[in-house]
A = this chain, B = another copy of it.
């Protein structure tokens, strides 16, 4: 009750000035100690540190970043429902911290638009924004890029001034096709991603790969989507098709999980009767359907590349496109084609 002002007890957190008063030194000195920079004697340093710890002092990142010319803050938008985004965010934290940057994350969800998420980041004065799997159209991306340097992850960018980091989607699907063909499969199907980011490239990659193997006439692309439900529906339709495929390349792991679930449910043996390959190597791939064969995008590598690209943009580097090589992770949902398949 030393203060006549009616401030709520316990609410106020100690500031540099509070610590300085308590320790009997200036705020500048406390600042020096808290930052661990030269300018204080060891004895003073220890004493001030002890006082700060005792008071539970935590520095105000807001005030600190306000004063500094550079906020050293990277904004990230991600989709709360996408498991792969979760993997990416986790590694983005690590990659940013390793370079002395903080992360401000802003979620996208059915009731929270991507624009809203980006506006929130702009108000936080992040120096660059990293958008995971953005669904914004080129016009919006272009106008956003004029307000803040922009880097897209897991999506290609046709937009001027926008960097991007994504895996070689067409090539990745090609790896899946190569793998299946080498196992003896001939009748291949691609359950596509409809209008999801990357779906075009994966469709194209599938078409190119089957052509390369001279299997175009036996191959098929069926409409799917990015969710388990889409995969299930597509698989159901395939079961009633005249010539049942012997191998399926799904748009992503979620889609593949839907395909797998329906096949297992219909007592189709995987990989005995049908092989299935997913895309992403998200946590789903090693989940309940344990050991899904899939194309891995390597979240850690992608996150590193994203932070590198973002900081390069900040340093005045030209926007650029980084294409990562995906690789095949053959687990237990893909196997040799059955005998009948080999006959045709």
Interface residues of A (CB under 8 A from B): 8, 13, 56, 58-63, 65-66, 71, 80-81, 83, 86-87, 89-91, 93-94, 102, 105-107, 109-112, 119-120, 122-125, 146-147, 227-229, 231-232, 257-258, 260-262, 264-265, 267, 283, 287-290, 316
- A340-B267 Cα distance, complex, nearest whole Å: 24
> Known contacts A86-B80, A125-B13: does B65 contact A94 (CB below 8 Å)?
no
| Cross-chain pairs A/B with CB under 8 angstroms, 9 sampled | A58-B119, A80-B86, A81-B86, A105-B107, A227-B287, A232-B288, A232-B290, A261-B261, A264-B265
Cβ-neighbour of A90 out of B107, B119, B146, B261 (below 8 A): B107
Q: Are the C-beta atoms of A124 and B288 separated by less than 8 Å?
A: no
Given contacts A61-B125, A62-B125, A261-B288, 8 further A-B contacts (CB under 8 A): A58-B122, A62-B124, A81-B283, A89-B107, A94-B111, A105-B106, A257-B288, A267-B267
- Nearest first, the 10 closest Cβ-Cβ pairs linking A and B are A228-B288, A80-B86, A61-B123, A90-B109, A261-B288, A62-B62, A58-B122, A228-B287, A258-B288, A264-B264
Cβ-neighbour of A93 out of B65, B107, B287 (below 8 A): B107
Q: Are the C-beta atoms of A124 and B229 separated by less than 8 Å?
A: no
Cβ-neighbour of A229 out of B107, B120, B288 (below 8 A): B288
- A58-B129 Cα distance, complex, nearest whole Å: 15
Closest Cβ–Cβ distance, residue A72 to chain B (whole Å):
13
Q: Are the C-beta atoms of A90 and B63 separated by less than 8 Å?
A: no
Task: Give chain B residues whose Cβ lies under 8 Å from the Cβ of A316.
Answer: 8
Task: Give chain B residues whose Cβ lies under 8 Å from the Cβ of A147.
Answer: 13, 56, 58
> Known contacts A283-B81, A290-B229: does B110 contact A90 (CB below 8 Å)?
yes
Task: Tell me the nearest residue of chain B to A286, going by C-beta.
Answer: B229
- A289-B106 Cα distance, complex, nearest whole Å: 30
Task: Give chain B residues whose Cβ lies under 8 Å from the Cβ of A91.
Answer: 111
Closest Cβ–Cβ distance, residue A298 to chain B (whole Å):
15
Task: Give chain B residues whose Cβ lies under 8 Å from the Cβ of A260.
Answer: 288
- A66-B60 Cα distance, complex, nearest whole Å: 9
Task: Give chain B residues whose Cβ lies under 8 Å from the Cβ of A87.
Answer: 80
- A102-B120 Cα distance, complex, nearest whole Å: 9
Task: Give chain B residues whose Cβ lies under 8 Å from the Cβ of A90.
Answer: 80, 107, 109-112
- Of residues A61, A87, A283, which shows the largest number of chain B Cβ atoms within 10 Å of its Cβ? A61
Task: Tell me the nearest residue of chain B to A116, going by C-beta.
Answer: B93
Q: Are the C-beta atoms of B80 and A89 separated by less than 8 Å?
A: yes
Closest Cβ–Cβ distance, residue A41 to chain B (whole Å):
27
Task: Give chain B residues whose Cβ lies under 8 Å from the Cβ of A58.
Answer: 119, 122-123, 147
Closest Cβ–Cβ distance, residue A28 to chain B (whole Å):
19
> Known contacts A61-B124, A80-B90, A111-B90: does B146 contact A56 (CB below 8 Å)?
yes
Closest Cβ–Cβ distance, residue A246 to chain B (whole Å):
20
- Of residues A63, A80, A265, which shows the largest number of chain B Cβ atoms within 10 Å of its Cβ? A80
- A146-B262 Cα distance, complex, nearest whole Å: 51
